[in-house]
Amino acid sequence: MSTAPRLAAAKRDWGHDETGCTVLHIDMDAFYASLEVARHPELKGRPVIIGTGPRSVVSAASYEARRYGVNSAMPSARARQLCPNGVFLPVDMAYYRMMSHRIFDEVFSQITDRIEKVSVDECYMDVSGALLRWRQPSAIGAWMRREVAERYHVTCSVGIASNKLVAKMASTNAKPDGMLLIPLDKHAEFVQMMPLRGIPGIGPALEQRLLAWGVDSVADLAAMSEESLARACGSRTMAHGLYLASRGVDGRAVTPYTPEKSIGAERTFDEDTRSMRRVCALLRWACDDVASSLRRRGLCARTVTVKLRFADLSYMTKAHTMERAVDTASALYPQCVALLRAMLHIPDTAGEDAPLPREIRLAGMSASGLAETAGLEVQPTLDDLLEESDAARTCGTGSPDGVGATRADRLRGAEQALDAVRRKYGSKAASLGL
């Protein structure tokens, strides 16, 4: 449930030029509460509040309940004081998730597969590929809103703009049950009428910091130079982001993301083993297998999970989420080794010849948190940047090979070359020496 500020004045007709406005942000209204009313029609028109129990907080509230001042993250006990006649229901996440899957499958996915699901009730959509059939983004928004309302008794709000930032701000201001198109030449004006907190990502701490500099609206932000913004918020990166956002500019692509899916490989040893060397070799094979499968499908993964099954058939898993998504064995494998050591409490000083404390029957790894490689911003990690500056110091500039390429880039190139060899000569033709 969104608590982002809305402006009544922003919910107006901004014009009808849809040129370049191919990003939609869809946000279902009071989703949990709407679904409860949908399956209990007798609750229609009553204040419905999801989240009950003496120590719980409000997860969602119908618009009728919001009129009493009930809001998300408020203690349920407080909501009861504000709205004593409210209908308080427990959270039924399995039901909300099931309905979310149905709505995404049966309505949103009918338009395009370029959908970035943000949560059960919210997504971005890149409709540029669907315009041949639909002609106008607003026709798509109108159709989805009608379908979801008629079939599931849930209303949704839709923002239409040229980028994710403005589309999201538009859907927020379209609520409830509305649609707002912000033409490209109105992006700056629309964004600049908002209070600071109207920009997603400006939280209470940053707001306080900016207020202390006398900046109390997005229009004030837009009047500042990037240098003074950097002084105000103490970060060049953040200043650059604010500079762009205050003009309604956002370069992030809609990135289809499938949080639930994973790709994995595992194998049972011929006989149980205590050899770290053998377990590592198996994990190396699994990483290579999974990485080439990721590359084949054009995916990158952020989360690595190692799985071990022991001689007594009990098993253990441990996961790590990385700062950026990867698709190479050279990036996945070191994470697996670190996880293996952590799971079995093996100190970093112990080499591969040290016996494992338990007998291992099966080992494997999987990659999850998958996103399409094409839509990802290529952002070097801090390690890459450090390595580059080291390399520049030792080699000087203008080295003929791999100018501007990080070690990670070069390893990725090697693995792609390996993919090509395997496509030609079969999967056993070459393997990776990490």
Chain length of the chain = 434
- Is residue 53 left, alpha or beta, with left meaning phi > 0 and alpha meaning psi from -120 to 50? left
Which of the stretches 116-124, 259-267, 303-311, 357-365 binds Mg ion when contact is defined by CB under 5 A?
A: 116-124
CA dist 328 and 205 (Å) reads: 37
Distance, in Å, from the CA atom of 128 to the CA atom of 7, rounded to the nearest integer, reads 29
**x-or-dash string of contact with Mg ion, 63-102, rule CB under 5 A:** ----------------------------------------
Any known ligand binding at 419? no
- Residue 127 DSSP SS3: coil
126 lies in the site for Mg ion, by CB under 5 A? no
Least distance between Mg ion and beta carbon 31 (Å)? 5
Nearest by Cα to 282 from 240, 340, 211, 241: 340
Question: Sheet harboring 115-119: ordered strands across?
Answer: 179-181, 156-161, 23-28, 122-126, 115-119, 257-275, 355-372, 299-310, 315-326
From the list 121-129, 190-198, 263-271, 357-365, the region that binds Mg ion by CB under 5 A is 121-129
Q: Assess 27 for contact with Mg ion (CB under 5 A).
A: yes
Closer residue to Mg ion (CB): 120 or 367: 120
Give residue 209's region: left, alpha or beta (phi > 0; psi -120 to 50). alpha
121 interacts with Mg ion by CB under 5 A: yes
Least distance in angstroms from the C-beta of 27 to Mg ion: 4
C-alpha 216/C-alpha 234 separation (Å) is 17
Which residue stretch of 23-31, 84-92, 146-154, 391-399 sits at the interface with Mg ion (rule: CB under 5 A)? 23-31
Q: How far is the CB of 213 from Mg ion (least distance, A)?
A: 33
- Kindly indicate which of the ranges 25-33, 39-47, 63-71, 167-175 contains the residues binding Mg ion, using the contact rule CB under 5 A: 25-33
d(CA 239, CA 433): 43
Site size toward Mg ion (CB under 5 A) is 4
Residue 257, beta-bridge partner list: 116, 371
Q: What is the DSSP string of 281-301?
A: HHHHHHHHHHHHHHHHTTEEE
Of 31 and 108, the one with the shorter C-beta distance to Mg ion is: 31
- Single out the catalytic residue among 18, 64, 116, 122: 122
377 as an active site residue: the answer is no
Q: 164 vs 361, which CB is nearer to Mg ion? A: 164
- Is position 121 annotated in a ligand binding site? yes
The minimum distance between CB 120 and Mg ion, in angstroms, equals: 9
**Which residues are designated catalytic?**
122
List binding-site positions for Mg(2+): 27, 121
Which residues bind to Mg ion, rule: CB under 5 A? 27-28, 31, 121
